[in-house]
Amino acid sequence: MTTLTNRQYFLASRPSGEPTASNVPVRDVPVPEPAAGEVVLRNLYISLDPAIRGWMGDDPNYIEPIAIDDAVRSSVIGRVVKSNDPDYVVGDVAMTMGAWERYTTVQGVTLNKLDESVGIPLSAFLGALGPTGLTAYFGLLEVGKPRSGETVLVSAAAGAVGSVVGQIAKMQGCRVVGMAGTDDKCSWLKDELGFDAVINYKTCGDYGSAIRAACPDGVDVYFDNVGGEILDATLLCLNKFARVAVCGWISTYNIADAPGPRNLWQLVAESVTIQGFTVLDYLERFPEGIGQLVEWMMAGKLKHREEIVDGLDNVLPTFLRLFDGTNQGKLVIRLPEDGTAA
Amino acid sequence: MTTLTNRQYFLASRPSGEPTASNVPVRDVPVPEPAAGEVVLRNLYISLDPAIRGWMGDDPNYIEPIAIDDAVRSSVIGRVVKSNDPDYVVGDVAMTMGAWERYTTVQGVTLNKLDESVGIPLSAFLGALGPTGLTAYFGLLEVGKPRSGETVLVSAAAGAVGSVVGQIAKMQGCRVVGMAGTDDKCSWLKDELGFDAVINYKTCGDYGSAIRAACPDGVDVYFDNVGGEILDATLLCLNKFARVAVCGWISTYNIADAPGPRNLWQLVAESVTIQGFTVLDYLERFPEGIGQLVEWMMAGKLKHREEIVDGLDNVLPTFLRLFDGTNQGKLVIRLPEDGTAA
């Protein structure tokens, strides 16, 4: 039996602010033989998501923090190289919650098998057809509850979640306004995805004025990916009975002790609902969501953009690009199909 | 025709912090003859509510700010002394949105006629059977959505709204925990109103520990009357899918530039909904609400405590007692039935 070597990036200490290589160093460890029911995946794609930053801390969160000395948790797609689960054979491709590592060993029941033959690139199942697409789908429809004719504002609109939110909101008959941080991203939203208006938040000046100009009828649904100053400005632009769907607050993740929003009185002033959610709240409805997203994508109604970076050893610096906004859409690390470490 | 003299307390300038006599001075002005459709009430009771402090400012709010030079807006009950509306005759008693004044002149259509013969003290229609009772009724049932067996935490629980919230929550089969600022208030909640547990927030020490001890199964519904530090502590005690009904944030009203809550990440961590509301959102359902509240009160299931202070000239210092918590239940100013100024 070959003993495989697993290169993995693990959490040596909890970051304060931006995670560094000393918080997340690398090590090479042997891959254990799979126990009963277990499967070993050689990872092909590793998903990089802002949420991972939250799991590196130990504040109360929707899932357990990553334990110190554990590999950094993330969604992965891999090919089965060893199986001790009768439902999986070597060569199968599947998605699971794995880690920033070459090989992931998990119980077979946690895997979602993927069909390579349908002609959709596998990486899409980490993005628009996977956790981020489902986050957009359930967050917008179940939390934001947009109605035809309403105005939907989306922050981080060119991101993996935001870009899907905007496209679904358009299909609901809404006026859709996106905020993003480069002119290129804004053009993509407007010209390719059909957003009605866009705001480059890095150049627009006062957020409140920019939002009011782009949303002349006010904001009915705010899909919030960023928190911070943009949330505060948006609160003052909300219509009566508006809904704020809180997906994440990426602007605050690397700031220790970020201040709370100051304009929350708008909750009462406009009878607003602010609701937090995670995609895990809708676990039982994943098949419905994925089915719908795949249908839209096959019909050309759902576009996505992903940026694929090769090499496990690029994982940390690539992850940090989520926070400076230099990524273009869904950010994925690709590993070679052969057995090399990274 | 007698010309009546109206003593009124009016908004000369917007307060920063606690309103002073220079923000809210007094004046005597003639009462105009009622125009077509108008009625003149000699006020008998004036309602003092924390919300009035919000209306004195000019931040965006759910109703227009009180205009500078206008009498301070508040709910009143008065007896008709002049009528130019065929639906009202001199001697009728009615409630309306009036002001801190001896005589209120309004369109008859804005009045709600009250029946003195049913044996309920009139002042109750400003409290448990009026705006504050309706705020509790709709805020708890429609925003908090408590289910039998859940834990409901109420702040300012001995106040006009909170005390009704707690009693309705008990009727829904919930475990009810109240926070109040004196041992006397806490005893009243527990011994007279049947709250399951109480917290004296002025003596309990760390709020989080006190809430966790009083709510061993966590908090499913938080009916928030106070905001500030207690909201922040409660956020960390919320169960998955908890609801926070934001009625008001009295702890912040006299603080310029109050900081926002710091623990709002709990929205995402526990998929929490925070919803602001005002009783005006349920205007069409007032008859249902009042009918239910009256029925509960007649059946002895709804108790209330009110503190009645005599004399219009006590209105400002009495109002300020809402903010130091020295009031005992619903605070009402009573004016003499005769025609004296105050």
pLDDT tens sequence across A203-220: 999 999 999 999 999 999
In tens, the pLDDT along A11-42 reads: 999 999 999 999 999 999 999 999 999 999 99
pLDDT at A222 over 80: yes
DSSP secondary structure string for all residues of B7-56: EEEB-SS--SSS--TTTS-EEEEEPPPP-TTEEEEEEEEEEE-THHHHHH
In tens, the pLDDT along A296-308 reads: 999 999 999 999 9
Q: What is the pLDDT of residue A1?
A: 59
Question: Is B262 close to A266, i.e. CB distance below 8 A?
Answer: no
Residue of A nearest to B224 (CA): A268
**Average pLDDT for chain A:** 95
Q: What is the pLDDT of residue A267?
A: 95
Which segment of A93-107, B33-47, B61-75, B106-120 scores lowest on mean pLDDT? B106-120
pLDDT at B181 over 90: yes
Complex prediction ipTM: 0.90
Question: Is B274 close to A273, i.e. CB distance below 8 A?
Answer: yes
Mean pLDDT of A111-117: 91
Question: Is B276 close to A259, i.e. CB distance below 8 A?
Answer: no
CB < 8 Å to B236, chain A:
60
Cross-chain CB nearest to A267 (options B241, B246, B263): B246
**Helix, strand, or coil (residue B109):** helix
Question: Is A62 close to B268, i.e. CB distance below 8 A?
Answer: yes
In tens, the pLDDT along B276-333 reads: 999 999 999 999 999 999 999 999 999 999 999 999 999 999 999 999 989 988 999 9
pLDDT confidence band for B121 (50 / 70 / 90): very high
DSSP class of residue A86 equals: T
**Helix, strand, or coil (residue B214):** helix
Side-chain half-sphere exposure of A261, counting CA atoms within 13 A = 23
Residue of B nearest to A268 (CA): B276
pLDDT confidence band for B200 (50 / 70 / 90): very high
Q: Which residues contact A70 (CB under 8 A, 6 or more apart)?
A: A10, A11, A99
Question: Is A274 close to B273, i.e. CB distance below 8 A?
Answer: yes
pLDDT at B253 over 90: no
Question: Is A274 close to B275, i.e. CB distance below 8 A?
Answer: yes
Q: Tell me the residues of A at the B interface, defined by beta carbons under 8 Å apart.
A: 59-62, 236, 241, 246-249, 257-278, 281
**Average pLDDT for chain B:** 95
Question: Is B265 close to A281, i.e. CB distance below 8 A?
Answer: no
d(CA B56, CA B69): 11
First vs last C-alpha separation in chain A = 21
**Helix, strand, or coil (residue B288):** helix
Q: List b or e across A198-236, with b for residues whose CB sees 16 or more CB atoms inside 10 angstroms.
A: bbbbeebeebbebbeebbeebbbbbbbbbbbebbbbbbb
Sign, CA dihedral B254-B260-B263-B267, equals: positive
Are B195 and B124 contacting, i.e. CB atoms less than 8 angstroms apart? no
Q: What is the pLDDT of residue B1?
A: 59
What domains are there in chain B, each with its CATH number? 5-127+305-334 (3.90.180.10), 131-280 (3.40.50.720)
Give all strands (DSSP E) within B108-147, no chain letters: 112-114
A187 to chain B, closest Cα gap in Å: 31
pLDDT at B155 over 90: yes
> Which residue is it, tokens 């990916």?
A225
Mean pLDDT of A98-107: 97
B247 to chain A, closest Cα gap in Å: 7
> Which residue would you say has higher pLDDT here, A256 or B69?
B69
B1 to chain A, closest Cα gap in Å: 43
Cross-chain CB nearest to B260 (options A241, A247, A260): A260
Question: Is A60 close to B268, i.e. CB distance below 8 A?
Answer: no
**pTM of the entire structure?**
0.93
d(CA B230, CA B251): 9
pLDDT at A342 over 80: no
**Helix, strand, or coil (residue A214):** helix
pLDDT at B259 over 90: no
DSSP secondary structure string for all residues of A239-301: EEEEEEEE---GGGTTSTTPPBPS-TTHHHHTT-EEEE--GGGGGGGHHHHHHHHHHHHHTT-
d(CA A150, CA A153): 10
Sign, CA dihedral B8-B249-B163-B325, equals: negative
